[in-house]
Structure 1
Amino acid sequence: MSDELERTGSMGDNLVDIKGLSVSFVTDAGPIKAIDGVDFTIPRKTVVGVVGESGSGKSVTARSIIKLLPETATTGGAIYIRTAQDGAEGFDVLTMSGKDLQQVRGGAAAMVLQEPNSVLNPVYTIGRQIEEGLRAHGLTDKKQLRAKSIEILEKVGIPDAATRIDYYPHQFSGGQKQRIVIAMALVLNPGLILADEPTTALDVTVQAEILDLLRLARDEFGASVLIITHNMGVVADLADQVVVMYRGHVVEHGSVEQIFYNPQADYTKRLLAAVPRIGQQLMVRDAAGHVIERSVDWREEPVVVKAEHMDITYPGQMQPDFKAVDDVSFEIHKSEVLGLVGESGSGKSTTGRAIAGLQRISAGSLNVLGMEMRDFKERKFKPLREQIGFVFQDPGSSFDPLMTILENVAEPLIVHGRYKTVSQAKQYVGELLEMVQLPRAYMNRFPHELSGGQRQRASLARALALKPSLLIADEPTSALDVSVQAKVLELFKTLQAEIGFACLFITHDLAVVDMLADRIMVMHKGRIVEHGDASQIMQHPSDPYTRKLLASLPVPDPREQAAHREELRKLLAEEA
């Protein structure tokens, strides 16, 4: 690196010193300050967790460390980063030239992003993509390039790495793709790994594997890890130190024990209180402080969904048929919340789509609101569609971006003939938005003008617009901050008690389903492996897969999580 770069002039155990960092972005409406006077350090061979809600400045702070910011960004303060060798002098990243930054990115610090598909090029093999980073830092020998790539893939746990190095990204699962992205970050042995929400979209069992991998980066590779997350269980599992951010400021910084057991800032206390925990009952109250409860016992209510030995098979073209749901039987009563949990690919969403009439069943029986769904005729089922609401995981993609919230929420009302025009439906849509605790003024906004939590509330309003008898909620809170998630869950429970709809609540978050569900079904590879009352499943699981799921779920308590991790290792050892 060039001698002109500003040096800190000091040594120490810190790999990174962030001093007075400020970042502003130029917009049409004027400059927006995303970061304001942030100070903290990243010690060597340490995992630092950065937590806070969306918009708190977590990702901007991480990207600033390798100056991976858009041209509209203006920075102030200093970020001193040192090489991994002891005694190395630091350089202020914010004053570096583009040429010097190339050596820092990948060599001194590497980034692992939330979505591996945004990093991996679908037209190149993963071997070529790993080698690309090595070439950029001077390695040109083909045999060495391939050998190093295979070696790093083996270290991150990709089976049969010597063969699969020539595979393309689409030939790997989501968890394996995230491992490959981590391999790309580790291959140059950087001193610092910046992991931005690396486990958000992953199942709990895969998440546990990725966290073990980041722990390996610290313990075996000697790297420091800065992990950005909104999952306090992940922080409790992995972090040595915690930085709590709120609206561009650091409100608290300390050891993981201090933050969890003796938080000082009110915001930290609120953040920890909002985290769902297994065994924690969700109680909602009205304005007068009275507990809101269902007026009926769901066990005595009629059955609205009944599946008997149901199969759902996807026909293969070049490959054999794939049975996504295999010999599944269950029922859902009016006013009941049935939780459906399992990993990606277990058949959860396929089951939900079949109930909504969006997926045909192949064998067995599925009766929804009195109609048999095997070989059903759309014209006969159409009148029942207005009795079924659907809340999607990502409301941003389910809303038409060119339509206002008013138009989006009013659409099912017009399709089913409740109103003829949007203007006629406006008064009712306003009442719906108020029911889900959104101001009426929001109906004139477009989906992109709402936050994630606000969009999910609007999605819930649309699903309830026709006053359905049955609601299917497919991962409705998985992408939300914990505080927003807590408010959406409270709202959901309140509306379910007041309206009395039957609900299939699909999720991979066991703590969330424990707060809401009356009964829980656990699915694995298309089959139901366990089914019973929520308390029974959570406290005394009988199936090994359910026990593995529960042990994989990180709990927001460092000491309890250490015991959880040990239990998971024993279960995995028994499997092996």
Structure 2
Amino acid sequence: MTANRVGEPVVSARDLSIHYVSRDALSYHKAISGVSFDLAPGEVLGVVGESGSGKSTLALTIAAQAGRGTAGSGTAEICGGSLRVGNTDIRRLTRRRRDRLTLSTGYLSQGAAVSLNPQLTVSENVAEPIFLRDRRFNQREAMTAVATLIDSVQLPLSVLDSLPHELSSGQRQRVALARALILEPTLLVADEPTRGIDATVRSGVIDVLRELQRERGFSALIVSSDLDVISTVADRVAVLDRGLLIGIGPIDTVFTDPQHPYLRSLAAVHDQRRRQSGAA
């Protein structure tokens, strides 16, 4: 977590609405409705919400990935308001602008750890985004960058020649994080970064993410259904409920005198865990 942020927002959403268009383009499902917020340079914003709240759709859209894949209900599209990431208007995103934007935006998707190419070594998986951008990039420079990041995510360099199946779930997630950061993005979008990881190593993954953010100074939008993750790593929290932004601000402020039923339930969990932490 960081402080003393200045400059233009890294992400700026104004009355943003996103819907899913069915595959036959005959029906629509609203996922995000009228959401507004800014993400400052160097800030970490946590996004929480129940399943179906729209939090993953928001992350997908900010990371400029919405048009590249489909959900079960179709393709996510901005249908109202505005969304800017850096100097890019996401509503007017061309393929060239998307490619330029993804140079400065790292995306750690749900299941990124299990999506590593099983035929590639750790070093090849992490380096792949470099060579997808520039096939002629200097091999030695790329491997140096990979080794530096593997060390930064607190893995031994001996894993560089390993295949993904030879690693634990926590190790694979650290490799996926290194891959997301290999192009030195100014923004990291991480969707459920601890999902599918053994509970005993989750805190280690979050500690690594927090330390990397502090060292490199990138902004981050972290989606999680785990309030402990958000309270550990985020400067502010945004709470979504059925596509609506029902609270945003420092976590203690958001959960002070909550009026919305879902906020009250989260506040109760937050207070209980804080008391347990104090007792320990």
Instruction: Bin the TM-score by the shorter chain.
Output: 0.7 to 0.9
The residue number in structure 1 matching 2:207 is: 490
Q: Kindly tell me: are residues 430 and 401 of structure 1, through their superposed partners in 2, closer, same or farther at Cα, counting changes over 3 Å? A: same
Q: 2:185 corresponds to which letter in structure 1?
A: P
**Whole-Å separation in 2 of the counterparts to 1:492 and 1:463:** 11
Q: How does 1:91-240 map to 2 (within 5 A)?
A: none
* CA shift for structure 1 position 318: 9.2
Q: Deviation digits for residues 339-367 of structure 1, max 9, x if unmatched?
A: 10001111001101111111231221000
TM-score by length of 2: 0.87
Q: 1:411 corresponds to which letter in structure 2?
A: E
The residue number in structure 1 matching 2:227 is: 510
**Whole-Å separation in 2 of the counterparts to 1:406 and 1:385:** 21
Which structure's relative contact order is higher, taking Cα pairs within 8 Å and 6+ residues apart? 2
* CA shift for structure 1 position 419: 5.5
The residue number in structure 1 matching 2:106 is: 389
* CA shift for structure 1 position 433: 0.4
The residue number in structure 2 matching 1:467 is: 184
The residue number in structure 1 matching 2:266 is: 549
Q: Kindly tell me: are residues 495 and 396 of structure 1, through their superposed partners in 2, closer, same or farther at Cα, counting changes over 3 Å? A: closer
Q: Deviation digits for residues 426-485 of structure 1, max 9, x if unmatched?
A: 222111101111111111111111101101111111111111000001100132233311
The residue number in structure 2 matching 1:407 is: 124
Corresponding residue to 1:325 among 17, 21, 32: 32
Corresponding residue to 2:90 among 347, 352, 373: 373
Q: 1:308 corresponds to which letter in structure 2?
A: R
**Whole-Å separation in 2 of the counterparts to 1:552 and 1:319:** 41
TM-score by length of 1: 0.43
The residue number in structure 2 matching 1:364 is: 81
Q: Deviation digits for residues 101-144 of structure 1, max 9, x if unmatched?
A: xxxxxxxxxxxxxxxxxxxxxxxxxxxxxxxxxxxxxxxxxxxx
Q: Does the CA contact (< 8 Å) of 1:419 and 1:425 recur in 2?
A: no
Q: Deviation digits for residues 287-344 of structure 1, max 9, x if unmatched?
A: xxxxxx74x513x343110011111111234974100111111110110000100011
**Whole-Å separation in 1 of the counterparts to 2:114 and 2:174:** 14
Q: Does the CA contact (< 8 Å) of 2:113 and 2:175 recur in 1?
A: no
**Whole-Å separation in 2 of the counterparts to 1:424 and 1:499:** 19
Q: Aligned Cα RMSD in Å?
A: 2.4
The residue number in structure 2 matching 1:174 is: none
Q: Does the CA contact (< 8 Å) of 2:174 and 2:205 recur in 1?
A: yes
Q: 2:159 corresponds to which letter in structure 1?
A: Y
**Whole-Å separation in 2 of the counterparts to 1:421 and 1:398:** 26
Equivalent position SS for 1:428: helix
Equivalent position SS for 1:365: strand
The residue number in structure 1 matching 2:149 is: 432
Q: 1:327 corresponds to which letter in structure 2?
A: G
**Whole-Å separation in 1 of the counterparts to 2:263 and 2:26:** 31
Q: Does the CA contact (< 8 Å) of 2:123 and 2:161 recur in 1?
A: yes
The residue number in structure 1 matching 2:238 is: 521
**Structure of larger gyration radius:** 1
The residue number in structure 1 matching 2:17 is: 311
The residue number in structure 1 matching 2:48 is: 341
**Whole-Å separation in 2 of the counterparts to 1:456 and 1:354:** 22
Q: Which moved more, 1:365-374 or 1:536-545?
A: 536-545
Q: Does the CA contact (< 8 Å) of 2:42 and 2:220 recur in 1?
A: yes
Q: Does the CA contact (< 8 Å) of 1:470 and 1:502 recur in 2?
A: yes
The residue number in structure 2 matching 1:137 is: none
Q: Kindly tell me: are residues 328 and 556 of structure 1, through their superposed partners in 2, closer, same or farther at Cα, counting changes over 3 Å? A: closer
Equivalent position SS for 1:361: strand
**Whole-Å separation in 1 of the counterparts to 2:61 and 2:270:** 28
Q: Does the CA contact (< 8 Å) of 1:303 and 1:331 recur in 2?
A: yes
What runs of 5+ residues in structure 2 fail to find an aligned partner?
67-76
Q: 2:181 corresponds to which letter in structure 1?
A: L
Check if 1:302 corresponds to 2:8. yes
Q: Provide the aligned length of Structure 1 versus Structure 2.
A: 265
Identity over the aligned pairs, expressed in percent? 38
What runs of 5+ residues in structure 1 fail to find an aligned partner?
1-292, 561-576
Q: Kindly tell me: are residues 459 and 396 of structure 1, through their superposed partners in 2, closer, same or farther at Cα, counting changes over 3 Å? A: closer
Q: 2:217 corresponds to which letter in structure 1?
A: G
* CA shift for structure 1 position 538: 3.5
Q: Kindly tell me: are residues 447 and 539 of structure 1, through their superposed partners in 2, closer, same or farther at Cα, counting changes over 3 Å? A: farther
The residue number in structure 2 matching 1:257 is: none
**Whole-Å separation in 1 of the counterparts to 2:142 and 2:135:** 8
**Whole-Å separation in 2 of the counterparts to 1:376 and 1:344:** 28
**Whole-Å separation in 1 of the counterparts to 2:226 and 2:46:** 10
Q: Deviation digits for residues 37-74 of structure 1, max 9, x if unmatched?
A: xxxxxxxxxxxxxxxxxxxxxxxxxxxxxxxxxxxxxx
* CA shift for structure 1 position 511: 1.8
Q: Which moved more, 1:326-335 or 1:533-542?
A: 533-542
Q: 1:458 corresponds to which letter in structure 2?
A: V
**Whole-Å separation in 2 of the counterparts to 1:555 and 1:475:** 22
The residue number in structure 2 matching 1:353 is: 60
